[in-house]
Amino acid sequence: MAQKPSIPKGTRDFSPGEVARRNYIINTIKQHFETFGFLPIETPSFENLETLLGKYGEEGDRLIFKILNSGDFLDKVDPHTYQGKDSAALLPMITEKALRYDLTVPFARYVVMHQNELQFPFKRYQIQPVWRADKPQKGRFREFFQCDADVVGAQSLLQEAEFVQLYDAVFTSLGLKGVVLKLNHRKVLSGIAQIIGAGEKLIDFTVALDKMDKIGQEGVVREMKQKGISEEAIAKAKPLFSLAGDNDDKIGQLRRLLQGSEAGLQGVEELATLFKITESLGLDELQLQLDVTLARGLNYYTGTIFEASAPAGVAMGSIGGGGRYDDLTGIFGMQDLSGVGISFGLDRIYLVLEELGLFPEELDRTLEVLCVNFGASEALAASRLVKKLRMAGVRADLYPSEAKLQKQFKYANNRKVPFVLLLGEEELASGSFVAKDMVSGKQHTYSLDALDEFLEAL
RNA sequence: GUGGUUGUAGCUCAGCUGGUUAGAGCGCUGGAUUGUGGUUCCAGAGGUCGCCGGUUCGAACCCGGUCUUCCACCCCA
């Protein structure tokens, strides 16, 4: 019985046009990664479950795709657990591998395992799919690509500045104007929490703060109260909600607000330095914006936090993010190794470029020359012509069958081929071919011996 | 994971309070045009109405389940 085929929720097929567009983005990112001195690595699509568990918080653990043990996976389950239907207890008995959830944790694992072979500071990039058992939405998939660049073993703030430049270079190359790179600092956040006396509630405090642009000040206050943050703490944090002006103004306000928190002040100074370096280096299209409500990846970020958001008017969450993590490798037994990294969300960047019509037209021009097929003897001559064109690096093809000219031309038209070559009986006799420019409709005859003439016209 | 939403031709979508043979535009195939596409005209093909079950004399339409899409929450690229 034939059944309708389907693919799992949140996954997609990519047709030739989409692959061309995805490769265009990937190649742009890759090119900049390499000019910035990053080296490529790849890691397995699945890891040992224990490598991933506990690294992304409770929510993250839930979203990790677990792989069922092979063979008789119930073999190791004792009857009591089986009867009890306790998923949490059952889990470790039936699964010990899981699909990669991001590229950062596998990278940390990689660094620890290969520490003796690596030159520090080590700059790596990695472009691979990751998987999350999330509920799909627009721009949110269960299988998607991340493009990560990280440096480990370098403390300097220059690294952060480099990543700002890298974001700018990539988005500028893609023609994406109006991308805002939001910046914050983990120490600023913890400093604030400490000053207002909500130090133990740091996570709840920042998670609530992060929703500012979504639910507004009132909503944030309501959520903070709900999480048990005191009224006076919230009152003290009020100035944060209305932090205004340019980045320098905000820095000044934070300096005053964070008097008395050494860590907080250190965070502010780091941000100030980062702004200063960036100002002297200059930016092309990227806009830099200090945003104290930005609170991402708190499970491992310890310093600067980045988030790139789509240009205003495009309904898409963040299209990239990153930050500094002082001790990511610590959990794998390698202490005191500082890292900074950023990520580009390929799939979301795709959707944004598509919505804004920013993909170059030539991505659809997959064939430069199509040779019409007039029958056996003409086609043989045409094959020789096509072979020469291919050796010259031209994307050329011969229509495989002697179909009606109308059909062959229509095919060329749909494939957006700019030149159609005609090599029929007449041309064969005179040792020439006709090239038709499909845009202008003009035709020109060339000698088969003088291909260069045609190649120049291409 | 919670709540909601969507699904009709290859694509984008109509389809009235349930009523014969489910429509349009685009695309596709053939012809006008046996060495010329993109424009025009003519003709044609193409549908288990997401899937399973129920109500009914009768279901694309109502009910239940399920899958999928998108949205909000959670979280995130």
**Residue A393 falls within a domain, yes or no?**
yes
pTM, two decimal places: 0.91
**Residue A427 falls within a domain, yes or no?**
yes
pLDDT score of A437: 94
A247, A380: one domain: no
Which of A301, A331, A356 is a domain's end point?
Answer: A356
Q: Which of A337, A333, A339, A294 is nearest to A317 (CA)?
A: A294
A320, A382: one domain: no
A345 touches strand B (CB under 7 A): yes
A332, A443: one domain: no
Q: What is the rounded CA–CA span in Å between residue A129 and residue A12? A: 12
Query: What CATH number is attached to the domain comprising A449?
Result: 3.40.50.800
Contacts 24+ apart (CB under 8 A), A316-319: A316/A138, A316/A139, A316/A348, A316/A351, A316/A352, A316/A355, A317/A139, A317/A140, A317/A348, A318/A345, A318/A348, A319/A179, A319/A344, A319/A345, A319/A348, A319/A349, A319/A352
Under DSSP, the state recorded for A78 is -
A111, A187: one domain: yes
> Which chain A residues 27-86 have CB under 7 A to strand B?
56-57, 59-60, 63
A284, A410: one domain: no
Q: Which of A343, A369, A358, A367 is nearest to A451 (CA)?
A: A369
**Residue A56 falls within a domain, yes or no?**
yes
CA closest to C1' of B33 belongs to A406
- Quote the ipTM score: 0.85
pLDDT score of A130: 95
pLDDT score of A3: 60
A443 touches strand B (CB under 7 A): yes
Half-sphere exposure of A265 (CA within 13 A, CB side): 8
Distances (CA, A) of A303 to A49, A298, A327, A330, A410: 27, 10, 11, 16, 58
Query: What CATH number is attached to the domain comprising A146?
Result: 3.30.930.10
Distances (CA, A) of A3 to A6, A10, A14: 9, 20, 22
Q: Copy the structure tokens of residue A70.
A: 């092979």
Residue range of the domain that includes A335: 16-64+101-356
Longest dimension (CA), chain A: 95
A352, A370: one domain: no
Q: What angle do CA A447, A453, A458 make, to 5 degrees?
A: 120
Coil vs helix vs strand at A73: coil
Name the pairing type of β-strands A419-422 and A369-371.
Answer: parallel
**Residue A190 falls within a domain, yes or no?**
yes
A442 touches strand B (CB under 7 A): no
- Rounded mean pLDDT for each run of 10 residues along chain A, 458 residues in total: 73 89 95 97 96 88 91 84 79 91 95 95 96 90 95 93 97 94 92 84 84 83 84 82 83 89 93 96 94 80 91 83 88 90 93 88 89 93 96 95 90 92 94 94 92 91
A232, A184: one domain: yes
A139, A224: one domain: yes
Overall domain count for chain A: 2
Which of A298, A324, A356 is a domain's end point?
Answer: A356
> Which chain A residues 182-211 have CB under 7 A to strand B?
207, 211
**Residue A89 falls within a domain, yes or no?**
no
A349, A223: one domain: yes
Find the Å distance, CA of residue A142 to C1' of nucleotide B59. Answer: 36
**Residue A76 falls within a domain, yes or no?**
no
**Residue A440 falls within a domain, yes or no?**
yes
**Lookup result for tokens 């690509």:** A145
Backbone torsions φ then ψ of A180, nearest 5 degrees = -105, 125
A383, A271: one domain: no
Name the pairing type of β-strands A143-152 and A339-345.
Answer: antiparallel
pLDDT tens for A122-173 read: 999 999 999 999 999 888 899 999 999 999 999 999 999 999 999 999 999 9
CA closest to C1' of B27 belongs to A414
Cβ(A386)–Cβ(A358) below 8 Å: no
pLDDT score of A1: 35
Which of A329, A356, A383 is a domain's end point?
Answer: A356
- SS3 letters across A318-378: EEEEEEEECCHHHHHCCCCCCEEEEEEEHHHHHHHHHHCCCCCHHHHCCCCEEECCCCHHH
pLDDT tens for A430-454 read: 999 999 999 889 999 999 998 999 9
Find the Å distance, CA of residue A169 to C1' of nucleotide B31. Answer: 55
A198, A308: one domain: yes
**Residue A82 falls within a domain, yes or no?**
no
Find the Å distance, CA of residue A407 to C1' of nucleotide B26. Answer: 19
Q: Give rounded-to-5 percent helix, strand, coil for chain A.
A: 45, 20, 35
A156, A299: one domain: yes
Q: What is the rounded CA–CA span in Å between residue A306 and residue A181? A: 7
Element (DSSP H or E) covering residue A432:
strand A432-437
